[in-house]
């Protein structure tokens, strides 16, 4: 939240991680936040309270614990700041972004240094996870770094308040209502204390930035202390990321992709994808059709880092168009898009992982 980072697309599976390019992970200063909250009209607060009451009643009718509901919902106020951040996402705002600018701010010395430190400190856990799940340690580190810079930036928004405000706002009501339900389930099952439910403005939690439904499905208790702690337990974080990827289709032994040199004058219509994407359309519109590596070689493409097997299927991705960087991406790249359906994000995960490999 994951996904990054990201709410505006639907990937191969309904992704539950909102990284959001790390937008909005840090709240406003307290005084500024109070000023924004005080700007809410009495009518809005009244409508929000009525919405919460209806939500609670519907959940109680389903058999959900009233105590769990009261723990999660008690004292919640509408957050105009959260709704403002939701409406300012890059793909919704009309702003043009370049991968060349984005990558320089993500795969940079501070993040790489933190990644190397995490790799050294977690070497045993990462190796064990890779053996068990088939997900390369470098990819786990790539996602971990992109999501929270290895725990340095996890967000301090109250997750139930964010989710309730976004569900009430209605722009993505079904998604956020579902995530609020999952949050209540976390408390009902006794998995984590209510005060630990902090994260990004969009409700993504902890170091891997899982939405509550992803926490319920993929979070793992690697250190065996009785609960999956994606906020403070590094073993739990690493195994939870690997579990998410393997359960959404990661193929053991296959990389994510590789940087490529496109031959001069190459006619991209030769490889254009004639099948219109039905999900995550903006992202997949940047992809060519699937072609075996042997054919990419025959077309004159050059790799400076070696090639996988000739029968490996790959798509050409040029995030900034023909004049920018180019990559051939494999099936596992689509799994990274399931974590956060953004070419910028998935390419950065792969390149950060490569820098740490």
**What DSSP assignment string belongs to 183-216?**
HHHHHHTTSS-GGG-EE-TTS-BTTTTB-HHHHH
For residue 15, pLDDT over 70 is answered with no
| pLDDT tens by residue, 241-256 | 999 999 999 999 999 9
| pLDDT tens by residue, 119-162 | 999 999 999 999 999 999 999 999 999 999 999 999 999 999 99
pLDDT at 39: 65
Q: 326 pLDDT band (50/70/90 cuts)?
A: very high
Q: List the chain domain ranges.
A: 20-91+154-216, 257-329
For residue 20, pLDDT over 60 is answered with no
- Range ranked top by mean pLDDT from 86-100, 189-203, 269-283: 189-203
pLDDT at 56: 98
Could you tell me which residue, 262 or 32, shows the higher pLDDT?
Answer: 262
User: At which residue do the structure tokens 């920018």 appear?
Assistant: 324
Mean pLDDT for 67-77 is 97
**Which are the contacts of 197, defined by CB distance < 8 A and separation ≥ 6?**
72, 158, 159, 160, 183, 186, 187, 205
Half-sphere exposure of 327 (CA within 13 A, CB side): 21
Do 4 and 345 meet the contact criterion of CB atoms below 8 Å apart?
Answer: yes
Mean pLDDT in the chain?
89
For residue 48, pLDDT over 90 is answered with yes
Would you say domain 20-91+154-216 falls under CATH 1.10.8.350? Answer: yes
| pLDDT tens by residue, 154-185 | 999 999 999 999 999 988 999 999 999 999 99
Do 19 and 3 meet the contact criterion of CB atoms below 8 Å apart?
Answer: yes
Q: Which of 1-15, 51-65, 87-101, 129-143 has the lowest mean pLDDT?
A: 1-15
pLDDT at 41: 84
| pLDDT tens by residue, 255-277 | 999 999 999 999 999 999 999 88
pLDDT at 84: 94
């Amino acid at each position: 939240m994951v996904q990054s980072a990201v709410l505006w697309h639907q990937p191969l599976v309904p992704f539950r991680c909102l990284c959001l390019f790390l937008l909005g992970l840090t709240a406003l200063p307290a005084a500024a936040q109070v000023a924004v909250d005080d700007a809410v009209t009495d009518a809005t607060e009244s409508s929000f309270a009525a919405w919460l009451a209806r939500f609670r009643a519907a959940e109680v009718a389903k058999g959900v614990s009233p105590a769990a509901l009261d723990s999660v919902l008690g004292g919640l106020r509408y957050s105009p700041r959260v709704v403002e951040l939701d409406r300012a996402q890059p793909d919704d705002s009309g702003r043009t972004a370049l991968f060349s600018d984005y990558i320089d701010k993500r795969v940079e010395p501070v993040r790489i240094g933190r990644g190397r430190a995490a790799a050294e400190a977690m070497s045993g856990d990462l190796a064990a996870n890779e053996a068990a799940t088939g997900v390369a340690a470098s990819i786990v580190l790539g996602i971990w770094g992109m999501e929270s810079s290895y725990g340095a930036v996890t967000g301090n928004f109250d997750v139930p308040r964010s989710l309730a405000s976004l569900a009430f706002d209605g722009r993505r009501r079904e998604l956020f209502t579902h995530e609020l339900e999952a949050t209540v389930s976390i408390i009902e099952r006794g998995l984590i204390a209510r005060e630990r439910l902090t994260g990004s403005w969009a409700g993504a939690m902890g170091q891997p930035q899982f939405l509550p439904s992803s926490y319920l499905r993929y979070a793992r208790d690697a250190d065996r202390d009785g609960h999956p702690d994606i906020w403070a337990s590094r073993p739990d974080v690493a195994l939870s990321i690997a579990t998410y990827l393997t359960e959404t289709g990661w193929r053991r032994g296959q990389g994510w992709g590789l940087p490529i040199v496109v031959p001069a004058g190459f006619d991209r219509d030769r490889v254009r994808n004639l099948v219109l994407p039905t999900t995550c359309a903006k992202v997949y519109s940047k992809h060519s059709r699937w072609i075996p590596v042997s054919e990419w070689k025959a077309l004159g493409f050059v790799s400076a880092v070696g090639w996988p097997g000739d029968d490996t299927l790959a798509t050409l991705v040029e995030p900034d168009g023909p004049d920018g960087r180019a990559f051939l991406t494999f099936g596992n790249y689509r799994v990274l898009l399931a974590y956060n359906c953004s070419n910028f994000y998935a390419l950065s995960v792969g390149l950060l992982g490569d820098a740490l490999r």
